[in-house]
Amino acid sequence: MHPKKLKQLKKHLKSSTSAKTSYITQMQHYREVFKDDPQILILINNVLEADRLLAAGLAPQPLPVLQVPDDFQDQLFKRINEQYAMGDPRGDAAWNTLSAALPKVDQLLRDFRDYIEDQYGMWAYISAPFLKDLADNLGNGPVLEVMAGNGYISKGLKRLHPTQTVITTDSKAWTKENGNQTGKQPVTAIETLDAVNAFQKYAADLDYVIMAWSPDKLTIDWDLLQAMRASEVDVPLICIGEKYGATGSKAFWDHAEYQDGPLVEKLNAHYRPFDLIHDQVYVIK
């Protein structure tokens, strides 16, 4: 089965509350199991701290790559051999416990994006340093966020620039899906508008349009880009996504005109992949 379809099926099979309890409880358990192994411990602690901040309504910090290092099992074997004498049953027990737990914790680390999508409706991982880069480099002019989901980007911009006009919109179609918190836990006020209608309504008053993680099954991103090009207003589109991957439509990626330069570099300074999805920030016209 295609990984994206498998991921979608998994989402329908678990409720938001049970997912949080199960995932975080397991992570807390493995933090204790791997308390003597800093390489794993730091990954688990990053996950737990990100969850704590999100639960408190705060932007999380950037994440390291959330997967067990390829050579960790060898390092684990070496550590146990140095800690226990040859033939010591405690060493055998430690090895059996930790080696059995390793693939489980590795899978949990890889599942962190699924968890924050289900629990918080956060698809693009929006960290505090990235929000600072975005606010600093886009300036204080009016901004429209389309497909805003729960509004994490807009909330961050409003916090950093309280007087800035930040228009937050979403069709809220996701609210009809079971087991998904997108649109159900907004962190800021969101106007119910699809991307094209939102742009057409506010185009004359904008400096930038922001679009993060357009759904990969829909062509609304391509519809938006065509509407922006047909407009007399020349507004750049700040797009966060994985090109020809987990986000957006093929038509959009095929026809996008990608801008280079300092703005693109600065917006990607603190936007880093933490798993197998390699999304980044694009400036598109």
Give me the domains of the chain, ranges plus CATH numbers: 3-120 (no CATH), 128-284 (3.40.50.150)
**pTM of the predicted model, to two decimals?**
0.88
- The larger pLDDT score, comparing residue 69 to residue 2, is at 69
Task: State pLDDT tens for residues 80-135.
Answer: 999 999 989 999 999 999 999 999 999 999 999 999 999 999 999 999 999 999 99
Q: Given this model, what pLDDT does residue 18 score? A: 52
Q: What is the mean pLDDT of residues 54-75?
A: 96
User: DSSP letter string over 18-79?
Assistant: HHHHHHHHHHHHHHHHTTT-HHHHHHHHHHHHHHHHHHTT---------S--TTHHHHHHHH
Interatomic CA distance for residues 122 and 90, integer angstroms: 43
Taking the C-alpha atoms of residue 110 and residue 105, their distance in angstroms, rounded to an integer, is 9
